[in-house]
Structure 1
Amino acid sequence: MFSIQLSSFSTMGKCASKHQIDGGESSHFNFAGGNVHLVSSQEDWEGKLSEANREGKIVLANFSASWCGPCKLIAPYYAELSEKYPSLMFLLIDVDEMTDLSTSYDIKATPSIFFLKNGEQINKLVGCNKPELLKKITAILDSQPESSCLQPQPQ
């Protein structure tokens, strides 16, 4: 795991760098809820992508950090969307825990949410923008073949 001291700034709802993990601080997410799956290893990542491919699901991969204010702000909404749209797979990746995966996706700011279909990126959202996240989800679902499983679940 790498350590870089956080330059305490956030622009347009994005945390712009990573921070140094303090020995006593837990970097595990405590704000994954709903139907959000925490990815904590390469095996988890590969397993979830395989599962999504088998089930024909589009993956939302949320690259976040436990210390990131905008990540904390969008987390409850992301969890809410995961329950509303069970036809999608919602993943949460801690950039400090999964540095190799984060580097492979060239994460420069958190949160960064990648939309993947069959393992390929079809869209991306950087920052804490709830209306834009919903807009992208809706556009993706609208582009899918008609199916009752794509409709939001009643609340």
Structure 2
Amino acid sequence: MGNCCKSSSKTGFKNKQSTTSPLASGKVALIETLEKWEEKLSEANRRGKMVVVNFSASWCSPCRVIAPAFSSLAAKYESLVFLTVDVDELSEFSASWDIKATPTFFFLKDGRQVDKLVGANVEELINKTEAFAAANYQQR
């Protein structure tokens, strides 16, 4: 397991090419604007879907390592919405979620946090996502 500490200043590079981001691929939506965050969260709420959010940075090695597992979970659990927030693109927004290290994963129901995982622990991410998906299925 690993994580990168987030500083208050912007560190590393910005990846403006969302389609080639090492942080999001497949069914994971890369969030680089507040408008896109609101859009995806509203869409999930309308559809009765729970959300898994990965706060990440393109310069963070553990974030890049866990990104493929996050993408695989998104493909497996289509009943959930998977989002990756670029902490450099949305630094103030990320600070409002009290992100101290990347990656940090939040599990949201109706826009509210129900669980959290800090660090690139693939096994724990899989376990929490499976439990979250099961809870989402039982609510239907």
TM-score range, shorter chain: 0.7 to 0.9
TM-score (norm 2): 0.88
Aligned counterpart, 1:76: 68
Q: Indicate conservation of the 8 Å contact 1:21/1:27, yes or no.
A: no
Question: What secondary structure, in the 3-state scheme, does the structure 2 residue paired with 1:143 have?
Answer: helix
What secondary structure sits across from 1:144 in the alignment? helix
Structure 2 match to 1:7: none
Please list the CA deviations of residues 104-152 of structure 1 after superposition, one character each: whole Å capped at 9, or x if unmatched: 10000000011111000000111001110111111122223448xx9xx
Give the aligned partner of residue 109 of structure 1. 101
Structure possessing the higher radius of gyration over alpha carbons: 1
Percent identity among equivalent residues? 49
Question: Is the CA contact 2:55–2:103 (under 8 Å) kept in the aligned structure 1?
Answer: yes
- Deviant stretches of 4+, over 6 Å: none
Match in the other structure for 1:8: none
| Residue pairs, 1:46-57, within 5 angstroms | 46-57=38-49
CA offsets 1:65-92 (integer angstroms, 9 cap, x no match) = 0000100000011111111111110001
Task: Give the corresponding residue for 2:15.
Answer: 27
Question: Residues 20 and 105 (structure 1 numbering): CA distance in 2 closer, same or farther, change over 3 Å?
Answer: closer
Equivalent residue, structure 2, for 1:141: 133
- Structure of higher RCO (CA pairs closer than 8 Å, 6+ residues apart): 2
2:5 alignment partner in structure 1: 16
**What is the alpha-carbon distance in structure 1 between the residues aligned to residue 105 and residue 137 of structure 2?**
23
1:20 CA displacement: 4.4
Distance in 2, matches of 1:137 and 1:59, equals: 10
Q: Distance in 1 between matches of 2:43 and 2:137?
A: 20
Whole-Å separation in 1 of the counterparts to 2:129 and 2:38: 22
Q: Quick one: structure 1 residues 143 and 40, their matched pair in 2 at CA, closer, same or farther if it must change by over 3 Å?
A: same
Which has a greater percent of helix? 2
Alpha-carbon distance between aligned partners in 1 of 2:138 and 2:132, rounded to the nearest angstrom: 12
For residue 71 of structure 2, what is the amino acid of its counterpart? A
TM-score, scaled to structure 1: 0.80
Name the counterpart of 1:59.
Answer: 51
Residues matched between the structures, number = 135
- The answer for the alignment partner of 1:132 in structure 2 is 124
Unpaired stretches in structure 2, ≥5 consecutive residues = none
Q: State the 1:40 CA deviation.
A: 1.2
